[in-house]
Structure formats: C-alpha cells, structure tokens
Structure 1
C-alpha cells in the first residue's frame, strides 16, 4: 500500500500539505492491517496469533498464507481427523500449537519436522492409539508436550530421544499398562510427569520404569499418582509406595526362565523383551549365552545405590552410638558401686569418731577448770 504524501487541494483550489499527524495514523493502520492480510477467513488473527478454534473444521485451512510473525496457532475444538505431512511447512516461527479436542487418530512421521522453534505442543483429547517414533523429529526446542486423554497403549522407543529440553509431559488418561525405561532416559531436564488414569500392571515389566521414576522424584521432579490395576493385591495402590523388595521375585523368575525366554507374562526382563528373534536352535544357544550379559547389564538406579549407602552409614553410626552407650552404662554401674562402697565405709567410721570425741571431752573439761 502506498501512501499519498503530495499536496492536497482545498475547497478553494489552493494546494495544502497533508498533516504529519494524519500520515502517522494512516501508517499505523497500514502496519496493523498488513500482518492480517493472509489470515484464513475462518480464523481470527493478530500480530502473533492465529485462532481457528471451535470452527467445526474437518480440514485445515490455508495455513501457508499466515504471516511469518505468527507464534501461536490454535486449532482446538474442531473435527480434524487427518493432517497432511506438509500441513505446517511454512510456519517455522511457530512456538505454540494446540490441536486438542479433535478426532486425530494417526499423525504422519515428520509432521512437525520444520517447527524448530515450537516449545508447546498439545494433542490432548484425540483418538491417537499409536505414535510414530519419528513424530517429534525436528522439535529440538520442545518444552511442553500433552498427549493425555487418548488411546495410547505404548510409548515407542526413540520417540523422545531428541527431547532433552522437555520439562513437562502428560500421558494421563490413556491405555498404558507398562513403560520402557529406555524411552524416558533422554529426558534429563524433565520436571513434571503425569501418568494417572492408566490401567497400570504393577509387575516385573514396570520394575525398571519404577526405578527411573524414583530417580526423577529424587532429583526434585514431580510425578502424579500411578495407581495399580493388577495384580489384585496391589489394586488401587500407588506404585510409588510399593517397596522395591516386592519386585525381588522378578530376578528369581528371570533365573528360572533362563533370562526370560519362554517365561510367563511379568517374568521377563526388559532387555530380553526388547530383542525378539525367531525361534530356532541357534536362537536357543544364543539366549543361553547372552542371558548372563543381560543380567550383568541390569541397572541399579542412583536412588537405590544412595539408599544402600545411607543404610550402611546409618548402621555404622548406630553401632558406634550403641557401643558408647554400653560403655557409658558400664562406667555408670562401676561408679555407682564405688560410691555405694564409699558410703558404707563412711557410715562404719562415724560411731568410732563419736566415741573418740566423748573420751576427749573430760580431759578438755579438766584442763579448762585448772586454767
């Protein structure tokens, strides 16, 4: 848009210069309208936000025409069920994307590959039953991820490998029964984790993840209630309160089952379950030879190691204190016996001292009378 800054003819026909204040106002209006020039008709746009929520959309609008300054894109409460792979190609400046409360059931790999600046992604309350391990590829700046209230049955290995900066994660309200510890170990900066409202099976398959969760809590992180559904004796109980000693039988099951091969559900270690191979004679031989390596690689969490060290130190201190108390008690007994003996001797000597004084009194009287 080009502003007219030339002379303006008045009613009398004479030319006058346009007011500088009027030019400034027109310029500001143009600057306000220019970013919204590419806003889709179903959205409401501002300088940095495009709000397309609650419009009943079944397909994405033309997002490629959005201004390059758009930082927030809101698409919740619509009817979106499918997103093309190149849906967010021209939105490299996007920092927040809300796709909650839709009908998304499948997200293609690399959907967010060009959103390098995205820090907040919400996929809450959709119909997702599985996530591709490359779904979050390219999201190096992600800090907050919400995939709650879906139908997820697992978190694939590799999904969170590039999310070292993630600090907030919600997996609540899904169909998760167990989680792999290795899938969450890259989250070194995680501070908030929501896992509630899932049908957790608190058996050996959840043992290693329990150790990792304890480590997260130990370093100051937050984890909400993780109530067990199975087994029956732990139903309704928070797995965080279940002592680790209750999982000691897992080691026995691993040894009895030859490291987990051919074992029942809940008795196989994660390292064996993660490497599946077709049954054959060579497989049996390889499993027998690799079982000790699997056991050798079993990880002992930092919190457990520190707890063991704390117990050892506390035991040593308590032993020293007990020895000192015994010594003090013995010293007290000896001192009391010596004092009692001294008192008895003192009582025996008091009558003798009284007789000596009585004998000495007449002599003193005679001396005083002579004087």
Structure 2
C-alpha cells in the first residue's frame, strides 16, 4: 500500500513538472492580452473600450486585424506594431492620439486599412506611410489637421478611400492630389476651406475626379465672406478671374522687392525696417511717405553704373574680336577664290596648247600618206 502511494505521488509530481515545463516553453506572445478578445480562427484581436493607454503587448504574430478604438491612447511610438507584421486592418479611432512617430508603421507592408479618426492629430510626417505598400483605406476624419505634406501622396497611390472630413484644412497641395490616382471615395466636408486663388487647383482636380466616376461629399467655403457657405464645385470660374491679375501684381511686387534688397544689401538702415511687397505698394500711394524711402536707394547708382560700363566694354571687345574674325575669314575667302580662278585659267591655257600641238601632228600624219600615194 505504501509503495502504491509513493508511485502515485511520483506520477503526480512528474505531471506537475511537465505542466510547468510546458508553461515555460510556451512563449507569452502566443497568449491574448488581458481584457482583449482573440479569435484564433479569424486572427482578430478586439481591444475596444478597454481603457488602454498604450498598445497592448504579447500579441500573436499572425494577427490580421487589431481593433483599438475607444481607448485612451495618446501617442504612437517607433515600431509600435513590430509584434504583428502581418497586420491588415488597424483601427485606432476615437482615442486621444496627438503624436505619431514617422516609423510607427515600420514593418506593416501588408496593411490595407488604417483609421486614425476622432483623435487630436495636428500634423502628419511625410514618412509615415513610407513602409506601407498596399494601403487602400485611410481615415483621418475629425482631427485638427491644418494640412497634409505633398510628399505623403507618394505612399497613397493605391488608396481607394480617403477621409479628411472635419479637420482644419484650408487647402490641399497639388502634388498630393496628383498622386491619388486610384481614389474612388473622398470626404472633405466640415473644413474651413478658403476659396481664393490657392484653391483653383482643387476645383480643377475635383472636376476631373468626378468625371472619372469618383465620389466626393462637398467643399463648403468658409472664406472669404462673399463666398461663405458656397460649394466650391458650384462657384463659376468667372469669380476667379481676378486671380490672374493678382498673380501678376504679386509677381511684379516680388521682383521690385528683390531689386530693392539687392541694391540695399550690405547697408544698414537706421530704423531697421524691412520693406515688404505690400509696403512697396503703399509707398506708391502716398508721395510724402514714399519719397524718404526712395532717396537712400539712389546711393548705389555709381556701383550699378560701373557695372554697366564694364559690361559695355566687355561687350565691345567681344564684338570687335568677332568682327575681326569675320573680316579675316572674308579676306581668306577672297584670296582663295582668286587663286582658284588663276589656277583654272592656267589649266585651261595648258589644255588649249596641248590641243593645238596634237592637231599639227595629226595634219602631218595625214599629209605623208598622200605624198606617198602621188609618188
């Protein structure tokens, strides 16, 4: 009886040791994060509404979908999803995310859907989507984005859906729009669009986008006042005619400003005031205010005059050399033509003299048979 009890105890101890060994051998990465729901068949990890402040650890490496919406995550660090390289769907909506590292998505080459909606993002780094190769859905709605870097569009060529509604966008850069070649659905409502000359590019792009079958909600103007609450797509092009004149005026103002800076470079003004294109326009409006500003600009004129004289001298020397070369070429051509004409005359004379000598020999040869025949 004692022997049997001893054997039973040994068997139980062996079983416990095996269990402990198996627990030690099983890596923690194959377990499900505390509070989350993991489906081993579909490879979906659901961590919604768990009060998380950070990305959960010990995720299964074959996870395909990760749902982290409705949490308290504030930032995404570098390689935040390195444990799930096969991830295809990542939902981070309705958190408190204000910062995203440029290398957050490093390793997620197969990511198809990404949602950062309902967060506090103010800007995105142009390198964020660089590691992603096949992103098709990207939702940035309900953030505080005032713009998107144009270079970000290079990573969004395969996008079919893009959500930018309810941000602080006033314009979109043309390089970004040009890269959205496969886009089908776009949301832009709820942004304070400034419908001035800078938004003509978006208007033209939207017309092409709609012509190709794309779907967009609306671009409601917030500024200027005379276009407030109007849909950009419905505003006629006649209202943008002033943009051409404005562009020319702005160009000439910049040219004038650059010339002023060039002439005053190296000189320090007593009041340290720098002139802007708008200041230049106002200077022309008042004679009393414009005159004192223009007088100091006349001082560097002798420097400009010396440069002009030097330029004229150099130009004259170059032109003189060119004329001398042309004259030499003409003289050489005339001399060559005269020599060739002389050579041709001499050649003709020699040929004629040879012809006459040949004729005399022929006549002599003809006379000899006749004389022999008479004899």
Q: What TM-score bracket applies, with the shorter chain setting the length?
A: 0.5 to 0.7
- Asked if residue 57 in structure 1 is aligned to residue 52 in structure 2, the reply is yes
1:253 and 1:260 in contact (8 A); partners too: no
1:51 and 1:73 in contact (8 A); partners too: yes
Q: What pairs up with 1:167-316 in 2 under 5 angstroms? A: 167-258=160-251, 261=254, 280-281=261-262
1:178 and 1:205 in contact (8 A); partners too: yes
- Asked if residue 42 in structure 1 is aligned to residue 23 in structure 2, the reply is no
Q: Secondary structure at the match of 1:109?
A: coil
Q: Distance in 1 between matches of 2:198 and 2:151?
A: 19
1:202 and 1:231 in contact (8 A); partners too: yes
User: TM-score, normalising length from structure 2?
Assistant: 0.59
2:75 and 2:98 in contact (8 A); partners too: yes
Q: Secondary structure at the match of 2:138?
A: strand
Runs of 4+ in 1 over 6 A off after TM superposition: 33-36
Pick from 65, 68, 78 the counterpart of residue 75 of structure 1: 68
Q: Which runs of 5+ in 2 are unaligned?
A: 1-25, 266-375
Q: Distance in 2 between matches of 1:191 and 1:259?
A: 41
- Higher helix residue share: 2
Classify 1:35/1:106 alpha carbon distance in 2 versus 1 (closer, same or farther; 3 Å). Answer: closer
Classify 1:281/1:93 alpha carbon distance in 2 versus 1 (closer, same or farther; 3 Å). Answer: same
RMSD, aligned α-carbons:
2.5
| Residue 261 of structure 1: how far off its partner (Å) | 3.5
Would you say how many aligned residue pairs link Structure 1 and Structure 2?
235
Pick from 128, 140, 155 the counterpart of residue 135 of structure 1: 128
Q: Secondary structure at the match of 2:155?
A: coil
Alpha-carbon displacement from aligned partner over 1:309-361 (angstroms, at most 9, x marks no partner): xxxxxxxxxxxxxxxxxxxxxxxxxxxxxxxxxxxxxxxxxxxxxxxxxxxxx
| Residue 181 of structure 1: how far off its partner (Å) | 1.5
Q: What pairs up with 1:14-33 in 2 under 5 angstroms? A: none
Classify 1:234/1:36 alpha carbon distance in 2 versus 1 (closer, same or farther; 3 Å). Answer: same
Q: Distance in 2 between matches of 1:185 and 1:220?
A: 16
Q: Distance in 1 between matches of 2:104 and 2:224?
A: 39
Q: Distance in 2 between matches of 1:150 and 1:175?
A: 8
Q: Distance in 2 between matches of 1:181 and 1:232?
A: 25
Alpha-carbon displacement from aligned partner over 1:172-222 (angstroms, at most 9, x marks no partner): 000111111211211100011100001111001111111111111111101
Q: Distance in 2 between matches of 1:35 and 1:203?
A: 57
User: TM-score, normalising length from structure 1?
Assistant: 0.60
Q: Which runs of 5+ in 1 are unaligned?
A: 1-32, 264-276, 285-371
Q: Distance in 2 between matches of 1:114 and 1:34?
A: 21
Stretch moving more, 239-248 or 33-42 = 33-42
Q: Distance in 2 between matches of 1:214 and 1:227?
A: 15
